[in-house]
């Protein structure tokens, strides 16, 4: 399986003959191009056309984040898997209101089910979340009666807001209290972790889309508009609770990240560089960890689960096989 490269230092990404390397702090580190899937750049790094041309040849996506940990953009090489038929079917399912709502409904329903999986896990570990679970379960039923994207987005947003309000109960850490979701800038430490983790997951999903015939610009829950990508936002919603949020609970409960690992910038809270590294390390471990797939009856990594989710969606729009989102079993 190919690996991902994360760069936090300042320096330069270069090409030398048939390989790539990172040069910084007086050292060169070569990148095994045949074994590299994505490169994430968090430091102040220079690149040139020579580097990007070769990265494109080797089908490597390069994701850029700014100093504050906000996503800047992705170098998305020309698609190496092209199918005019898949593109037309994807557009057809977006333009047909009934077909689009059907896919969006399953995405939202699966996303809410995975919120419940997390809450039930902690509820069984002496954290009383019964009332929250009962209320959020009602949203699953409500989605079955939704016939518009706006309604689905509303139910998903309400369920997620209620879910986030449980974080203080789960963590039981006075330094990591949570009141309401806030973005750009995050107003507290939990929001900073959520925003950073979600942004990384969006790019993980984008990298997986690159290895399918699907077009990342055409989503179903999130509207295709002036933003460059939307399908990755759809699929990320399914996996946020079982990947990003579990990583947040792990790094805080194990004190991998503490209240000292944040700073005030731009009127909000952001992670220090050491906290970003620690979070990425834990998240990468989570993505590489394996579970027994309930239908395939074999071990697959969480990262592979994302690819499988995309394959199911692709099969739905091209072959009419009903799309059923992945719900975790803990």
pLDDT at 230: 94
pLDDT score for 3 = 86
Tokens describing residue 252: 């805080």
Is residue 86 over pLDDT 80? yes
What's residue 223's pLDDT? 87
* pLDDT tens per residue, range 10-22: 999 999 888 999 9
Mean pLDDT throughout 99-121? 97
How far is it, in rounded angstroms, from Cα 295 to Cα 15?
Answer: 43
Domains of the chain (ranges, CATH numbers): 3-75 (3.100.10.20), 84-319 (1.20.120.920)
Q: Which residues pair with 29 in a beta bridge?
A: 22
Quick one: pLDDT at residue 135?
Answer: 96
For all residues of the chain together, what is the average pLDDT? 92
Provide the strand spans (E) within 47-141. Answer: 61-65, 71-75
Q: How far is CA 82 from CA 110, 150, 194, 300, 305, in A?
A: 28, 31, 34, 26, 22
Please give the distance of CA 311 from its chain centroid, rounded to a whole number.
17
Return the closest-CA partner of residue 59 out of 88, 45, 44, 39: 39
Strand order in the sheet with 19-24: 27-31, 19-24, 11-16, 45-46
- Predicted local confidence at residue 81, as pLDDT: 66
Quickly state the pLDDT bin for 126 (edges 50, 70, 90).
confident
pLDDT of 330 over the 80 cut? no
pLDDT at 228: 80
With bands split at pLDDT 50, 70 and 90, how would you rate the model's confidence at 282?
A: very high
CB-CB contact of 287 with 243 (8 Å)? yes
Question: What would the DSSP string read from start to end of 132-148?
Answer: HHHHHHHHHHHHTT--S
Q: Is the pLDDT of residue 266 over 90?
A: no
Q: What is the pLDDT of residues 144-155, one digit of tens each?
A: 888 999 999 999
The pLDDT of residue 118: 97
Reading the block at residue 188, the tokens are 């507290």
Q: Which residue has the higher pLDDT, 226 or 223?
A: 223
Cα 244 from Cα 200, distance rounded (Å) = 9
Q: Token pair of 260, please?
A: 């000292």
The pLDDT confidence band at residue 184, using thresholds 50, 70 and 90, is confident
* Cβ pair 108, 143 in contact under 8 A: yes
pLDDT at 80: 67
Indicate the Cα dihedral angle 41, 301, 294, 115, nearest 10°.
-40
pLDDT(78) > 80 = no
Query: Tens digits of per-residue pLDDT, 191-214?
Result: 999 999 999 999 999 999 999 999
Q: What average pLDDT does this structure show over 108-113?
A: 97
The rounded distance, in Å, linking the Cα atoms of 35 and 38 is 10
- Per mean pLDDT, which range of 73-82, 214-223, 282-291, 319-328 is the poorest? 73-82
Statement: residue 328 has pLDDT above 70: yes
Confidence of residue 83 (pLDDT cuts 50, 70, 90): confident
pLDDT tens track for 154-167: 999 999 999 999 99
Percent with pLDDT over 90 in the chain: 75
């Amino acid at each position: 399986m190919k690996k991902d490269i994360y760069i936090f230092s300042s320096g330069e990404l270069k090409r030398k003959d048939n390989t790539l390397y990172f040069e910084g702090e007086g050292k060169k580190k070569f990148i095994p191009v045949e074994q590299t899937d994505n490169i994430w750049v968090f430091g102040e790094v220079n690149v040139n056309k020579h580097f990007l041309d070769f990265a494109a040849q080797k089908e490597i996506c390069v994701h850029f984040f700014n100093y504050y940990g906000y996503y800047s953009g992705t170098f998305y090489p020309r698609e190496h898997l092209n199918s005019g038929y898949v593109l037309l079917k994807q557009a057809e399912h977006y333009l047909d209101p009934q077909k689009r709502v059907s896919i969006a409904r399953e995405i939202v329903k699966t996303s809410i089910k995975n919120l419940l999986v997390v809450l039930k896990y902690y509820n069984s570990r002496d954290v009383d979340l019964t009332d929250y679970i009962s209320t959020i379960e009602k949203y699953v039923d409500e989605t079955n009666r939704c016939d518009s994207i706006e309604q689905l987005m509303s139910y998903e947003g309400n369920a997620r807001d209620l879910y986030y309000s449980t974080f203080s109960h789960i963590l039981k850490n006075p330094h990591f209290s949570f009141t309401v979701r806030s973005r750009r800038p995050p107003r507290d430490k939990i929001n900073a972790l959520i925003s950073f983790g979600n942004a990384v997951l969006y790019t993980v999903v984008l990298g997986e889309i690159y290895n399918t015939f699907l077009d990342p610009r055409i989503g179903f829950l999130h509207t295709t508009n002036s933003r460059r990508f939307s399908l990755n936002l759809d699929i990320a919603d399914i996996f946020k609770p079982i990947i990003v949020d579990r990583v947040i609970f792990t790094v805080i409960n194990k004190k991998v990240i503490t209240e000292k690992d944040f700073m005030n910038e731009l009127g909000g809270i952001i992670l220090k560089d050491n906290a970003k590294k620690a979070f990425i390390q834990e998240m990468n471990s989570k993505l590489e960890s394996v579970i027994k797939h309930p239908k395939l009856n074999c071990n697959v990594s969480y990262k592979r689960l994302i690819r499988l989710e995309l394959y199911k969606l692709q099969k739905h729009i091209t072959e009419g096989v009903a799309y059923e989102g992945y719900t975790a079993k803990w």
